[in-house]
Chains A and B, each alone.
Chain A
Amino acid sequence: MRSRKLTVVIGVVVLAAVAAVLVASVGSAAPQRRSAESTKFFLIPKFIGIPVFTLNGVGAKAAGKQLGISVTYNGPTEASAAKQVPFIDTAVRQGYNGIIISANDPNAVAPALRRAKARGLKVVSYDADVAKDARTVYVSPPDTQSIGSGQVEWVGSQIGYKGEIAILSATTTAANQNAWIAVMKSTLKKAKYKNMKLVKIAYGNDNDTKSAVETQALLQAYPNLKGIIAPTSVGLPAAARVLQQAGKCKTIALTGLATPNSMRAYTKKGCGKKFGLWNEVDFGYLAVYVAKAVMDGKLTGAAGQSITAGRLGKRTVGKDGVMPMGPPLVFTPQNIDKYRF
C-alpha cells in the first residue's frame, strides 16, 4: 500500500512540474524563427550511413555553397518512414525554408510534408518520390527505359550481340529491378539483339554472399554463357569477384549498375569492362538547385518549365512534376579513375 501512495505522490509532483514548465514557457509560445539571416534547406535521405546518400549530401552542400544556402543533411539510421517524420516536423519548427526528401513510404511522410507546406516550406522529393500533392517537383533517377535498354546495349556491344545472357537481380519484389528487367526483355526482342538469348534470371537478394553463390550456379548451369547483367550495386561487384576467381573475365562479359569505387579493381583487370550508374553527387546537387528554383517561384511543377542547374546545365520538368536527372554515366577501364564515389 505504501508504494501505491508513493506512486500517487510522484504522479502529482510530475503533473505539477509539467504544468509549471508549460506556464513558464507561455511567453515564448511561438517558435522563434531565426531564419531571417539566411536560407536553409534540410535534406532527408531514406537513411544515413551508406555511400550513395552520403554522396547526395556532398553534392547538395556543394550546390548550397554556390547558391548561398546552408544545407543540413540528416536522417534516420534505418529505412523507416516513421523515423523520417520527426526530422520533417523539427525542420518546420527550426524555421527551415525547404525540405528535400527521399521517401521510405510515399504516403507515410505525406501528412508531415503537407503540414510543412502549409507552414510555407518548399518540398522537393528526389530518388524516391512522395505522394504527388505533398511535393512540388520530384527529381527522379534516369528513367527506366534508358537504364534498362542501356544495360542490354552495354553487354551486347561486348559479345558481338550474340549468345546466351543471364540477369543477376536483387529481390523478386524490388519494383525498380522488375521494371528494368521488363524493359530488358522488350529490348531483347528488337532486331539488333535477336541473337542474344536470356536464359535465366537469378536473385541475389542484394546480399553479397547470396549474389556470389547465384553467380557460381549460373556458371555451372550454363557453360555457354556469354554475358551477365547485374543491375544492383551489391550484385555486380559480387559477380565480378566470382568471375575473377573462376578466371572467366575474358569469356563472360559483365555489366550492370554499381558505384565506380566498388568496381574499380575488377574493371581495371577486365572484369566488368562497361557498367553504369547515375552520379549520386550530381543527384543531390540538382535537388538543391530545384528546391531553390521552387522557392524563387521559377518552378511550380508544371511540365515544360526548365532551369539552369549550375554545372549540370539545363534541366526540364516533365509530366506530373517529374524532372529526370539525365542519362546514366558509363564507366570503362579508361574513364573509371575520373570518378571517385
Chain B
Amino acid sequence: MKAVGRVLAGLVFRWEAVLVLLIFAAAFWSTTLSDLFLTRANLLDLTTPYIFIGLMALGLTLVVVAGEIDISIASILAVSVVVLGQVFEAGANVWVAAAVGLLVATGLGLVNGLLVGVVGLPSLAVTLGTLAAYRGLAFLINSGEGVASFPVGFTNIGSGYVWGQQVPIALLVFLGAAVALGFLLHATRFGRYLYAIGSNREAARFSGVPVTLVRVAVFGVSGLMAGIAGLVYVGFFGSTRADAADGSLLDVVTAVVLGGVDIFGGAGTILGVVLSVVLVSELRNGMQLDNLGGDTQNIVIGVLLLAAILAGNALRALQTSGLRARIARARHKEVMRPSSRTEGIT
C-alpha cells in the first residue's frame, strides 16, 4: 500500500502529469470554444502544422539537457531546405536531394559543436552567430522564390495521410523521432553522459565522460533534427525559400521549456517535450477554430509559458523540501543511535 501511495505521490509531482492535466483542461476549454474541436479529423490533424517545430524541439531537448543552447536550428533548417531545393532543381532524384539536405544540416550542427566543444566558446554566443550566418548563407544560395515542384510521393512526408486518409504521416514521423530520441536520451550511455555533463561538466570530465566528443555530437544531433524538420517543412509547405521557418525559434524554445526541460541543464524528458508540443498545438487549434486573433493566441501561450516556469520552480522547491525533511528524519535517527555514528567516524 505504502509503495502504491509513493508511486501516486510521485506521479502527481511529475511535470509530465501536470502537462497531461493541462492537455485535458485545454481540450475542455477548446470544446467550449468550438464544437468543431472534438472531431476525430481535427484531433488527428491539430499538430500537423506544428510538426516541424516539434522535431526541432526534440533535437534542442538533448542540447539543453547537456546544459547548452542551440538557437541556430531554424537557420539550419533554412539552409538545408534551400540546398534540397537547389539539388533537386539541378536534376537529382528528390530523395538524393533530401539526403544531401540532411547531411548539410548535420554538418552545420557539427560546426556549432566544434566551436562549443573544442574551441570552448559559449553556446549562446556561437549559435547566435551562426543563427545570423546560416540564415545569410541560405539567402546566398537562393534569394528567389525557391523551388515548389516536388513530387507528391515526397511532399507526403509533410502533407500525406495513411490509414483511411486519416492519420497524418508527419505525425508518425514526429512520434518515430520522439521514440528514437527518447531511446537515445533515456536508455543509452550517450544519454546518461548528456545528463552528467548538464548537471556538472567538470565532475563528468573527472568521471571519465568523453565530454568534448559528447558535446560536439549533441550539436550534430540537433542539426540533423533541424534537417528532418526541414523535410517535413518542405513536405507541408511545398516551398524552399531562404526565409523558411523564420520566426519559429520562439515556439521551439517554448516547447522545450514548457516540456519541463531545465534550461540550466541536467534534467528533462522527451515525453515532457512531446506533451508540450501537443498542448501548444491543441491550444492554438482551439483558439483558431474560435477565430481568436493571433495576438490573443500569443498572449495565452506566453502566459502559459510563464505559469509553467513558475509552477516548475514551485514543484522543484516542494521536492527539495521533501528531500530535506527526509534527510532531517534520517539525521534524527542517527542522533538516536550515537554508537553507529562513532563507528562511522572511526
Contacts and interface: CB of A to CB of B under 8 A. Distances in A.
Interface of A: 2-4, 6-7, 9-11, 13-14, 17, 21-22, 24-26, 28-32, 47-49, 72, 74-78, 80-83, 85-87, 89-90, 93-94, 105-111, 115, 131, 173
B237 A6 contact: no
21 contacts: A7-B16, A7-B186, A10-B11, A10-B17, A21-B27, A28-B40, A30-B39, A31-B41, A31-B42, A32-B35, A77-B294, A77-B295, A80-B246, A81-B239, A82-B49, A90-B288, A90-B289, A107-B148, A107-B239, A111-B159, A173-B143
Contacts of A72: 291
B43 A21 contact: yes
A93 B42 contact: yes
Contacts, number: 136
B38 interface: yes
A253 B220 CA distance: 57
Contact of A83 (B24, B238, B285, B294): B294
A29 B7 contact: no
A94 B37 CA distance: 10
Closest 6 CB pairs of A and B: A107-B239, A107-B148, A108-B239, A108-B237, A77-B294, A90-B288
* Chain B interface size, under 10 / 10 to 19 / 20 to 34 / 35 or more: 35 or more
B94 interface: no
B49 A107 contact: no
A87 B293 CA distance: 10
A17 B24 contact: yes
B193 to A, nearest CB: 17
Contact of B284 (A2, A22, A26, A86): A86
A36 to B, nearest CB: 15
B131 interface: no
Given A77-B298, A107-B146, A86 B40 contact: no
B343 interface: no
A24 to B, nearest CB: 8
B20 A10 contact: yes
B238 A111 contact: yes
Contacts of A108: 237-239, 241
Q: Is the interface of B mostly helix, strand, loop or mixed?
A: helix
Given A7-B269, A49-B295, A111 B40 contact: no
Interface of B: 7, 10-11, 14, 16-17, 20, 24, 27, 34-36, 38-45, 48-49, 52, 143, 145-146, 148, 155, 159, 186, 233, 236-239, 241, 243-248, 269, 271, 275, 284-285, 288-289, 291-295, 298
Nearest to B48: A89
A31 B294 contact: no
A2 B6 CA distance: 11
A74 B49 contact: no
Most chain B Cβ neighbours within 10 Å, of A2, A28, A93, A110 = A93
B12 to A, nearest CB: 11
A116 B91 CA distance: 31
A94 B246 CA distance: 28
B10 A2 contact: yes
B41 to A, nearest CB: 6
Given A85-B236, A94-B289, 10 more contacts: A13-B20, A17-B24, A22-B43, A29-B39, A76-B294, A82-B52, A83-B294, A89-B48, A107-B145, A111-B237
A317 B49 CA distance: 34
Nearest to A111: B238
A89 B49 contact: yes
B237 A83 contact: no
A81 B245 CA distance: 9
B284 A82 contact: no
Contacts of A47: 294
Contacts of B7: 6, 9
A48 B20 contact: no
B20 A17 contact: yes
A22 B40 contact: yes
Contacts of B34: 94
Given A10-B271, A25-B40, A31-B36, A93 B239 contact: no
A25 B38 contact: yes
A80 B42 CA distance: 23
